[in-house]
Structure 1
């Protein structure tokens, strides 16, 4: 908008006000079983590839500590003594930049803001590999809520949400005030346009990118704020306007509502400036011209289809057909299946030549991949296409078709 790896573990330190540390462990890959079966004499199988993203429980160990505003240590786990967050870091300082600890390199960024007369300071340590991972992700999606829901910065978002919740409770903040403190934190991030920082007119950032860059435009701060508030359990939506984006936070009081969506009411939150209170709409924003983005993860699937003739008889040509699929996120693709079939060309009442196979691949984690293969037969006297359809419970189907197949293929 004009206003504007795989290491999954994110590390933070709350400087002055908030301190905590985490330890990165080496995590191994998980072997996943492959489904195998036969039907009508045609062998097929499908399953998850060995490449499976690690979960937080596999690559985090030790305590995470939070430094209370009054200096008392509040422990968020129940084992291991408090360790010095500075230990093991070379050239560590409080300025933004890249620091090293052994074989690991971290980006450091500190944010300062005020809320209800309290001064807050929050420093994040984010592994370079994590930042680099998100930089390689596609930034062309316009379903902006998906940037707020990636599994790969979930630890980061969870720790910010947990820390600001604990600290808000230490200050006797109400739940609403804890949420408003998150908004104050997000509003402290410097505003820079996408064109200025990336050279692109549009470049929505994932939360980790905004934190490391220490700046962003309206869509970046709205995405970050939505991710944190959503993790805290607030009902939030992204509000997209021409050349602008803001937050909507659910309210039970219709008198404070700015916009209604579905069966819920939301009040407007500006994330790029402190000039407007919660529920107050800037004069240049037309609330009637809004696109509402609820925070519902919808994985984006991609697939490739390969095929080759492997034999023939008097009636049919037989093809070995293979599919590689990938869940680009966010979140888990549930109950993923691959459907192979032969479609008559041109289609006539959606004529499908038997047999067809629906092969279950299972649940695919974000960035997880799957594979399936089978053998199909195409009538020699007919023109047809081989079709691959990937479907599941929580994503839009993906369909691929071959060129028209003829009887003159070489086997």
Structure 2
């Protein structure tokens, strides 16, 4: 579940434009990796905490190469709900072992609840920050936690996903905080928490930076202060995207819409609604599918036929609807607009 919280005025990103008769290409992973042909990937991580200047701790993991390759080969869903990368439980044993190691050290040190959060965060904050463009060649490329561990880091989305799933496994109530150009974590209010928080479903979640070692509860970097945030919890749920293709047949437009559920729960009684943009949030010749359900990890195809209106300046609008709300949407280019050629 997600919610947009307005700290100050902010306009969320517009839906991606889809050509009228072409599905977007899937984001594929880089072609090769240095562990190909091995059975396990041996990793050792070292981290420290500011209260213990002369001490560092290590955690070692044997990550099955096949598990890493499985996550690495998965398409990256075109959704802003990055909790999709925490939905799979294939990494349960690895994160449970890390969680047990952190908990054992915390108990030995006798750290109070406030500093426990920072001690756990330090493990992730001290991973290397890398940009998606430098490591994958893509502008935006979310990573599953196993990928972030194997690759020794990632960008803000990757570290927020890893820390969020780790803390969730340790019993903390956390949410993803998605700002316009950044992502962090929100941790449920506890003793000594002060600073910036987001109220979500009646609970205060305090901002926690997951990149860099200076991140403390409630402290938002200067460049992100006052921005609106989408909030995503880690509850098992359906996370839906769609693609579509279509063509004109006489006076009709025939579409095939593919709806995919990337989440951890079944989606029931949803519909696809499509029509031609009439302006003022209205549609010409709108049609709606029969209700359908999609299991976790499954896709379904929905065929629709629309009558083409006698107005050349229009475009197709497509919505996946659940309980009266659009949970995914897309639009074509304007029908009377020529495609723009790429300039070399």
Q: 1-side partners of 2:121 and 2:277: how far apart?
A: 57
Cα distance in 1 between the residues matched to 2:266 and 2:172: 24
> Which of 206, 228, 246 does residue 166 from structure 2 map onto?
228
Equivalent runs, 1:58-77 vs 2, <5 Å: none
1:362 to 285, 293, 298: 293
SS in 1 for 2:268: strand
Which residue does 1:303 correspond to in 2? 243
* Cα drift, residue 259 of structure 1: 1.2
Alpha-carbon deviation of 1:179?
Answer: 4.2
1:110 matched to 2:110? The reply is no
Q: Compute the displacement of 1:170 (Å).
A: 4.3
Distance 1:325 1:111, change over 3 A: same
Relative distance call for 1:152 and 1:383 in structure 2 (3 A) is same
In structure 2, relative to structure 1, the CA distance for the partners of 1:197 and 1:389 (3 Å cut) is: closer
Q: Equivalents in 2 of 1:165, 1:261: separation in Å?
A: 26
Give the Cα–Cα distance (whole angstroms) in 1 for the partners of residues 162 and 189 of structure 2: 20
CA-CA distance at 1:332 after TM superposition:
4.1
Corresponding residue for residue 262 of structure 2: 329
In 1, Cα distance between the equivalents of 2:303 and 2:131? 46
Do the aligned partners of residues 258 and 124 (structure 1) sit closer, same or farther apart at CA in structure 2, a change above 3 Å counting?
Answer: farther
1:214 is aligned to 152
Separation in 2 of the partners of 1:340 and 1:291? Answer: 29
SS of 1:220 mapped into structure 2: helix
Cα deviation, residue 125, structure 1? 0.8
The CA RMSD measured in Å over matched residues stands at: 4.8
For residue 292 of structure 1, report the CA deviation from its aligned partner: 2.7
Cα-to-partner distance string for 1:36-77 (whole Å, 9 max, x where unaligned): xxxxxxxxxxxxxxxxxxxxxxxxxxxxxxxxxxxxxxxxxx
Q: How far apart, CA to CA, are the structure 2 residues paired with 1:197 and 1:401?
A: 31
Distance of 1:119 and 1:134 partners within structure 2? 28
Cα distance in 2 for residues equivalent to 1:346 and 1:295: 31
Correspondence 1:149 to 2:84: yes
CA positional deviation for 1:120: 2.9
Worse-superposed segment, 211-220 or 167-176? 167-176
Q: How does 1:114-125 map to 2 (within 5 A)?
A: 114=48, 119-125=57-63
Distance 1:229 1:295, change over 3 A: farther
Distance 1:346 1:206, change over 3 A: closer
Q: 2:35 aligned to 98, 107, 124, which one?
A: 98
Render the CA deviation track for 1:88-141: whole Å, top value 9, x for unaligned.
Answer: xxxxxxxx952646xxx5444322224675723131414346446546634876
Cα 1:265–1:236, aligned 2, differ >3 Å: closer, same or farther?
Answer: same
Q: Which residue of 1 aligns with 2:126?
A: 188
Task: Report how far residue 302 of structure 1 moved.
Answer: 1.1
Contact 1:240 1:293 in 2 (8 A): yes
Determine which structure has more spread, i.e. the larger CA radius of gyration: 1
Correspondence for 2:204 = 265
* Structure-1-length-normalised TM-score: 0.52
Question: 1:159 — aligned with what?
Answer: 93
TM alignment of 1:24-35, pairs within 5 A: none
Distance change in 2, residues 1:378/1:225 (3 Å) = closer
The alignment partner of 2:291 has SS state of: strand
Q: How many residues are treated as equivalent by the alignment?
A: 285
Cα shift readout 1:216-247 (whole Å, capped 9, x = no counterpart): 23443223212322344423344566865543
Could you tell me whether the CA contact under 8 Å between 1:221 and 1:271 is conserved in 2? yes
Take 1:213 and 1:181, find their aligned partners in 2: how far apart are those partners?
22
Equivalent residue number for residue 407 of structure 1: none
- Structure 2 vs 1, CA of residues 332 and 134 (structure 1 numbering), >3 Å: closer, same or farther? farther
What are structure 1's unaligned runs of at least 5 residues?
A: 1-95, 311-316, 405-411
Contact 1:131–1:212 (CA under 8 A) maintained in structure 2: no
Distance 1:235 1:370, change over 3 A: same
